[in-house]
């Protein structure tokens, strides 16, 4: 039987992660942790079973979790949740869609989710607690530091460094061998 995993955050990004976890079939979703007032509601048939205040108690029963709060304007909540989970002792596995391509010559660190049809090429290094969203392309020898969101259909060309806590918007494209930081809006060309 697959290990059970808690999803931390029950919004739109959670729905996408649920779909990836179901497709990957390495974990069974134990439930969702969200705001106290949402306990008892459901997201795609999975119950909100607790709030953030219950994470230590839940650790007595579950040892795997993943942050399923999205990241657009601010990375603060994702970082806070990731750090709290680590502090408690949770394992934060890498979640990779079976529809994504991740080169065996790349590395992906804990708590990162790689969505459907993402392409991660050789020599790529992806840090902790990242979202590599649907159809994102990350070319050879690029580095995506911790807590980044590379959004839908974004293109990170070869040798690029995306600095910690960066949001790289949908359909944005980078030139090769540049450094990117903070917030890149959708459709941008980064030179």
Label residue 167 by pLDDT band (50, 70, 90). Answer: very high
Q: Where do runs of H (alpha helix) occur along the chain?
A: 12-24, 55-58, 76-88
The reported pLDDT for the residue numbered 72 is 75
The distance of Cα 22 from the centroid of its chain, to the nearest Å, equals 15
Global pTM? 0.96
Spatial CB neighbours of 103, under 8 Å, sequence gap ≥ 6: 120, 121, 122, 123, 124
Distance in angstroms (rounded) separating the CA atoms of residues 70 and 167: 11
Overall average pLDDT of the 60-79 stretch: 93
Question: Could you read off the pLDDT of 100-146 as tens digits, one per residue?
Answer: 999 999 999 999 999 999 999 999 999 999 999 999 999 999 999 99
Q: Are 28 and 6 in contact (CB under 8 A)?
A: no
Q: Average pLDDT of the chain?
A: 97
Domain ranges of the chain: 4-92, 94-181
Average pLDDT over residues 8-17: 97
- What is the assigned CATH class of domain 4-92? alpha beta
Is the distance from CB of 190 to CB of 174 less than 8 angstroms? yes
| Alpha-carbon span 62 to 31, nearest angstrom | 10
**CA nearest neighbour of 123 among 135, 107, 136, 137:** 107
Q: Region 46-68: what's the mean pLDDT?
A: 97
What would the two tokens of residue 186 be?
Answer: 């959708």
Phi then psi dihedrals of residue 67, to 5 deg: -75, 120
**Interval 35-64 mean pLDDT:** 97
Half-sphere exposure (CA, 13 Å, Cβ side) for 176? Answer: 5
Domain 94-181 class?
mainly beta
Model pLDDT, residue 1: 86
Q: How far apart are CA 138 and CA 121, in angstroms?
A: 6
User: Which residue, among 61, 52, 60, has the nearest Cα to 30 in the 3D structure?
Assistant: 61
pLDDT band at 170 (very low <50, low <70, confident <90, very high): very high
Element spanning 138, H or E: strand 137-138
pLDDT of residue 71: 86
């Amino acid at each position: 039987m697959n290990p059970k995993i808690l999803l931390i955050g029950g919004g739109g990004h959670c729905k996408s992660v649920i779909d990836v976890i179901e497709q990957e079939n390495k974990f069974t979703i134990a439930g969702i942790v969200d705001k106290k007032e949402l306990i008892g509601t459901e997201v795609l048939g999975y119950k909100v079973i607790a709030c953030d205040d219950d994470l230590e108690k839940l650790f007595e029963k579950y040892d795997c979790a993943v942050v399923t709060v999205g990241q657009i304007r601010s990375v603060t909540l994702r970082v806070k949740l990731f750090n709290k989970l680590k502090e408690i002792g949770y394992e934060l596995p890498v979640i990779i869609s079976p529809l994504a391509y991740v080169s065996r010559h790349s590395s992906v660190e804990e708590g990162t989710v790689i969505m459907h049809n993402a392409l991660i090429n050789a020599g790529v290094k992806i840090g902790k607690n990242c979202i590599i969203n649907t159809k994102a392309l990350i070319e050879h020898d690029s580095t995506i530091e911790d807590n980044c969101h590379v959004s839908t259909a974004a293109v990170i060309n070869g040798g690029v460094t995306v600095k910690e806590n960066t949001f790289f918007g949908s359909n944005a494209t980078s030139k090769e061998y540049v450094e990117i930081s903070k917030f890149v809006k959708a459709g941008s060309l980064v030179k």
